[in-house]
Structure 1
Amino acid sequence: MTLPPWRIDRIVQGLAKGEVIAYPTEGVWGLGCLPDLEASVSRILAIKQRSWTEGLILVASKISHLERYLDGLSGKERRLLERTWPSPVTFLVPDNGHTPSWIKGDHDKVALRVSQHPVVADICKALGAPIVSTSANPTGCSPALTALQVRQYFGSKIDLLVPGNLSGLKGPSEIRDLETGEIIRSRPVR
């Protein structure tokens, strides 16, 4: 589902004002905001009842949106990202000093993904930048799989619920350490 231009404009304006959005991804609904707005990120963490120390994912529609976080990678690491993305694979990339603490949490790596989901792609393309992506659920609960579940979990705590559908994965994205290749969280089955 591609979003109409008027809706994309509304989402971008809301994000710029610090709004928190809920949106569909490949396998679960996500909560998002602009990563440089600490107050918005703090709202997401409060809504989820999640500690800042755990860190959050940044999702983009193309690698160029993530350049500031990729500076310093080896050619081999860079080629692996280019071969893998866009896909529902999140990589833990060494922090090069450009990641705010409220995004990376208590870690020396930042979680990054280039998504092929049309809603995520539309939003990030319009922004020319990544957004925060974390599953839409209170800590300890299953991630929301429908817009209705998002509303049941969060009600009016979300500023904007972006329409759309999941892409068919059965759960959150795979998480892989870029340096070691270790799979931290397995890819869900379609």
Structure 2
Amino acid sequence: MTTAEGLVETSLDTAVETIRKGGLLIYPTEAVYGLGCDYRSSTAVERLLELKQRPVDKGLILAASHVEQILPLIRPNHGDELAQALKTWPGHHTWVFRASSKVPAWISGAHSTVAVRVSSHPVIKKMCDALGHAIVSTSANPAGVEPSSNIAVIKDVFGPQVDYYLDLPLGEEKNPSQIHNAVDGLTLRL
């Protein structure tokens, strides 16, 4: 679905349509620009992983607008696991749960878990509400390169390999989301 120029615009409708058609999207998150797609599309995820130079076995984070979009994807061992995540959602916290059978292998990677967050960013919320499901949420940078908060820099890196660049404001966080293990509550990334 790659366009000739990799459009940089501000249309949420076009961003949603890009995801629906299996395209790759750069979009604002709480701290940096994200690179996303429909997590259910193996073709879109393969393109995303190739662009990021990221091995599939590492797994990917999913962002959603509501916990109802997350519940079918996780298998908490007990209610306390979900309860601790719900205390931080919507928000800038990613939680790693045991994955349900609905999580594709290209999302969980070499793990039996899935990393999920219910975002508080208005753009992510609106996109996921319109789609009715979570999306891939990984930083918009090649592996080993620092994430950027400048969409022009990101477009210089990825160019027309990304179908749409959604140029709307970032959130006010300074770092990518914290990642917590739902089983033991330990913080995996600050």
Give me the TM-score of the superposition, normalised by structure 2.
Answer: 0.91
- Which residue of the partner structure matches residue 145 of structure 2? 141
- Once the two structures are TM-superposed, the CA of residue 81 in structure 1 deviates from its matched residue by 2.0
Distance 1:28 1:149 in 2: 12
- Once the two structures are TM-superposed, the CA of residue 173 in structure 1 deviates from its matched residue by 0.6
Verify: 1:117 aligned to 2:121, yes or no. Answer: yes
- Once the two structures are TM-superposed, the CA of residue 60 in structure 1 deviates from its matched residue by 0.3
The number of equivalent residue pairs is 181
Verify: 1:39 aligned to 2:43, yes or no. Answer: yes
Distance 2:186 2:83 in 1: 17
Partner AA of 2:182 in structure 1: L
Distance 1:112 1:59 in 2: 6
- Any idea what SS the aligned residue of 2:173 has? coil
- Once the two structures are TM-superposed, the CA of residue 73 in structure 1 deviates from its matched residue by 4.5
Partner AA of 2:28 in structure 1: P
Distance 1:14 1:27 in 2: 22
* Structure with the larger RCO, 1 or 2 (CA within 8 Å, 6+ apart): 2
Partner AA of 2:50 in structure 1: A
Distance 2:51 2:114 in 1: 21
Tell me if structure 2 keeps the 8 A contact 1:34–1:40: yes
Distance 1:70 1:33 in 2: 19
Tell me if structure 1 keeps the 8 A contact 2:54–2:143: yes
Tell me if structure 1 keeps the 8 A contact 2:61–2:138: yes
Which of 55, 68, 71 in structure 2 is aligned with 1:67?
71
Distance 2:124 2:114 in 1: 19
Verify: 1:84 aligned to 2:77, yes or no. Answer: no
Where does structure 2 lack aligned partners over 5 or more consecutive residues? 1-9
